[in-house]
Amino acid sequence: MLENDMYDSWKSRMELYMLNRQHGKMILELVEHGPLLWPTVEDDGVTRLKKYSELSATEVIQADCDVKATNIILQALPLEIYALVSTHKVAK
Task: Select the highest-mean-pLDDT range: 28-32, 48-52, 69-73.
Answer: 48-52
Residues 36 and 59: beta-carbon distance below 8 Å: yes
Strand partners, 43: 46
| Non-local CB neighbours of 7 within 8 Å, separated by 6+ positions | none
Q: Give the pLDDT band (50/70/90) at residue 47.
A: very high
Per-residue pLDDT tens for 14-44? 777 777 778 788 877 877 777 778 889 998 8
CA distance 8 to 12: 6
pLDDT at position 68: 83
CA distance 41 to 60: 16
CA distance 71 to 76: 9
pLDDT at position 72: 77
